[in-house]
A and B are shown apart, each in its own frame.
Chain A
Amino acid sequence: MDIIKTEKLTKKFDGLTAVDNISFSVKEGEIFGFLGPNGAGKTTTIKMLTTLLNPTSGSAEVAGFNIINEKNDVRKKVGVVFQDPAIDFNLTGRENLDFHARVYALDRETRKKRMEEVIKLVDLDEKMNIFVKNYSGGMKRRLEIARGLMHYPTVLFLDEPTLGLDAQTRRAIWDYIRKMNKEEGTTIFLTTHYMDEADYLCNRVGIIDHGKILIIDSTTNLKNSVGNDVITLSCSDMNKLLKGLEKESWIKNTKKHDTYLTIGVEKGEEKIPEVIFIAQKLGIKIKSISVRKPTLDDVFLSFTGRTIRNQDPEHPWKQFARRHERRGG
């Protein structure tokens, strides 16, 4: 059964098309990821699916309800963890959860029982009675995930769940996400610009860039599409080598970058001598060569022609400021 189904969903902001005619579906119980750079339209898609924004055209159904006509029903079914922290820092963790549960009309018993469950799920037992302003970044994120689960949502939206967190905390958050997907059967829709995150967590990934979905498939299929192995090499005359290599039948695909070439092949280790041989025959000097398993980075590259714009984890406020400017505030 499809939990999310979109039909030509489009959102425009003053002439800028943030989400461009996207149609996709997410199955019950899966972890589905949108992978793309900042500004690709991931957050806008989440905001439309969670009824915070009205689409300019097109439509979507979430948990069987229409996001335009049945807003309140959709809201009951979804949990959201926003990219920017959306907790009240001047309240304790427990108060934040309790407020959330009340707004979602859980009765007293359910509130209590559920709170203990979600707290346990994200290991925040001891920190529940201190103010959120004293939490670390990872703890805030965990609290938000716990809160998103409070009202037994059918689908949980996670917008860049590990943005700005350190490697260890990210790993822990990933495990919580997997755990709740497994234990609670919650369908998860997440967005990320981290390849490793999409690779580790998602059953299926949609690659999104400039508001358009380029491809949706399982991570394994996506990686296989660029070849079993990727050879990266830098040499003196890249164009000449590229021409020479294109004649070979064992080469799945090639791509030229600023300072290096990537070649998709099977059994990469055995192909390195052949590549060197061809280069020598053409009188080209190879400076370096390596072989590795393909990553989603390579997939992204082959579909968009560039690597995901390199972004360091940044403070959410900066993104806020940027979004702010873009809206012309």
Chain B
Amino acid sequence: MQHGELQAIYVMWLRQMKRFIRSRSRIIGTIVQPLFFLFILGGGFRGATLPGMTGDYIQFIAPGIVAMAILFSSMYTGVSVLWDKKFGFLQEILVAPVSRFSIIIGRTLGGATTAVLQGTIVLIIALLLGVTVSSISGFILAYIFMILIGLTSVGFGLIMATKMEDFEGFQIIITLIIMPLFFISSALFPIASNTALPDIVIKLSYANPLFYMVDGLRGSLTNMNNVLHPLINLGVVLVICIIMLGFGSYLFNKTEA
């Protein structure tokens, strides 16, 4: 790869990092929301028992909230290509003698890095609240899941950004697609082992990409309440990630400024 291409990837990544560190409201926002979930929802249900759940509720919900923080943060990065479109910065990048592919890689890496950083902050808070990690290897695997969740969501955000003209569309997609998917991902309560839920919801949850991300993260991090083996989840998430990124960069490649 040429020197310019590497520089382009680096610049796009660095830009993402600088913007992230400088936008205090975004950092606070993305940390505070998961905190509410952990403290209030997690605290409130602490002594509760749920059908299909073993152990402490906060232990159950923590991986789900880490996944949520990464999911929303990196989806936002992907969609923020729209801002660049709107403010013309995209043109400046597209007219440079570097391939679109490098631009996409840099941006995706930047988005995933900031998202994993946010996920890490949430994870630290969860550990302080008494969530226990199963093993060192599980912890490493958990980070692989976090990175993959980040990359996949940036890819999904990119797809949305190339298909949308404004930000209202983004809100609608969050409400109509992401929130329902999040609710049946078993991030907040067990689905597959839950006898109280209708059979159809349980079956549907297996068609939900978020389920494999949350379940994989939970299995590797706490080794409790996970439905599938983390490595099976890893395989599924890897495939989803490749599809999303491939499709996202394909669509971005076709963008004309």
Q: Which residues of A contact B (CB under 8 A)?
A: 47, 50-54, 72-73, 75-76, 78, 80, 82, 84-91, 95, 99-100, 102-105, 147, 320, 324, 329
Contact = CB atoms under 8 A, between A and B. Distances in A.
A104 B11 CA distance: 11
B87 A84 contact: yes
Given A86-B91, A105-B4, 9 more contacts: A80-B95, A82-B91, A86-B90, A89-B87, A91-B18, A95-B18, A99-B11, A100-B92, A103-B97
Contacts, number: 78
Interface in B1-31: 2-4, 7-8, 10-11, 14-15, 18-19, 22-23
Contacts of A84: 87-88, 91
Nearest to A105: B4
Contact of A52 (B10, B19, B98, B257): B257
Given A87-B89, A105-B2, A105-B4, A51 B95 contact: yes
Interface residues of B, number: 29
Interface of B: 2-4, 7-8, 10-11, 14-15, 18-19, 22-23, 86-98, 165, 256-257
A159 to B, nearest CB: 10
Contacts of B11: 99, 102-103
- Which are the 5 A-B pairs with shortest beta-carbon distances? A105-B4, A86-B88, A75-B97, A84-B88, A86-B92
B87 A103 contact: no
B93 A103 contact: yes
Contact of A47 (B15, B19, B257): B257
B95 A50 contact: yes
A201 B230 CA distance: 67
B92 A78 contact: no
A82 B88 contact: yes
A86 B91 CA distance: 7
A320 B86 contact: yes
**Residue in B3, B14, B18, B88 whose Cβ sees the most chain A Cβ within 10 Å:** B88
